[in-house]
Amino acid sequence: MKEWTTFFRSFFKKKESEGSLREALEELMEEEEVADTSLAPDEREMLTNILSLRDLTAKDLMIPRAEIIAVPYDSSLEDVKALFKSSKIMRLPVYRQTLDELLGYIHLRDLIGTASKNFKLQEHLHKINYISPSMRILDLLIQMRSTGEKIAIVVDEYGGIDGLVAMSDLVEEIVGDIQDVAQMTAPLPFFRRPDGVVVVNGRMDIEELEDKIGPLRTEEEKEEDIDTIGGLVLHLTDRVPQRGELITHPSGIEFEIIEADSRRIKLVGIHGLPSSHT
């Protein structure tokens, strides 16, 4: 097997043509000896992650619409700086009235040396690329590498905003958290702790979850556009809750935020389920 780490680094450099990159990726995919004992555990994990991307689309890895952090076009410099600080992200989409009216995005570095006087957010906008939910992740990686853009907006067939894909999230899918071996294996989407608490991935499909634990949503919630358990929690809070928070559902069940960042809910613990469900 060729030295794949060299290939991985070169992927993010603008040297090869798109065609040669695609050929290199396909060649890498054809490699069957993923468990080559000459590879260190973290290298094997990264290579396995690259191979796993072959069947994934933008819809699989996008940040759902409800979790997109964006800023109105008429925001003050202070408001934009505050949102950058609280969200801890480098790029913020900018919209006019609703998220479906995106004007572009602003980068944190655009604010360096910018004065509050006469600040106009729209003067610092960068173009946003729009992609289909069905676009293959590997194709998107190649496109982002070619254009230099770091975010893309996923739109549905009617032009509405479905979600956002960030280059940083794609790299995270490949690299993973190799700083902590205990986190190299992705959390299971559903499991029960000895204390009866059901722990689920924040992106677990809400209907799939209800098939396992029984009815959860109210009739009103069923009429809302809620696809995941994380989306249900966001519906209850109208914000991204912090790790350790307990969110009470009208049914009396409590959602514990086990793991979350500034943009999404990653792991949720469900407390108070009837014993027949656990």
Last residue of a domain, one of 165, 200, 216: 165
Domain that holds residue 258: 187-277
DSSP output for 87-156: HT-SEEEEESSSTTSEEEEEEGGGGTT--STT--GGGG-B--EEE-TT-BHHHHHHHHHHH---EEEEE-
pTM of model > 0.85: no
Asked if residue 185 has pLDDT above 50, the reply is no
Q: Is pLDDT at 141 greater than 80 in this prediction? A: yes
In the structure, what pLDDT confidence band is assigned to residue 186 with cuts at 50, 70 and 90?
A: very low
Half-sphere exposure (Cβ direction) of 176: Cα atoms closer than 13 Å: 21
- 156 and 72 both lie in a single domain: yes
Report the domain count for the chain: 2
Tell me the C-alpha distance between 175 and 43, whole Å: 9
Name the region of 148 (left: φ>0; alpha: ψ -120 to 50; beta: rest). Answer: left
Classify residue 7: in a domain, yes or no.
no
Residue 261 has pLDDT above 80, yes or no: no
Same domain, 242 and 160: no
**pLDDT the model gives residue 156:** 87
Within-domain flag for 143 = no
**Cα–chain-centroid distance for residue 200?**
16
Residue 112: predicted pLDDT: 79
Q: Are residues 134 and 229 in the same domain?
A: no
Which residue(s) pair with 83 in the sheet? Answer: none
- Domain of 252, CATH number, reads 3.30.465.10
Which runs of E-coded beta strand occur in 1-69? 63-64
Sequence-distant (6+) residues with CB within 8 A of 177 are 183, 184
Q: Which residues pair with 267 in a beta bridge?
A: 201, 259
Q: Which residue has the higher pLDDT, 184 or 234?
A: 234
Q: How far apart are CA 58 and CA 73, in angstroms?
A: 26
State how far the Cα of 225 lies from the Cα of 221, in Å rounded to an integer: 8
Q: Return the SS3 of 166.
A: strand
Is 177's pLDDT higher than 70? no
Name the strands in the sheet holding 63-64, side by side, starting at the edge strand that comes first in the sequence. 63-64, 161-166, 151-155, 129-131
Q: Which of 203 and 261 is assigned the larger pLDDT? A: 203
Residues 159 and 80 in one domain: yes
- Cβ neighbourhood burial of 133 (10 Å; 0-12, 13-18, 19+): middle
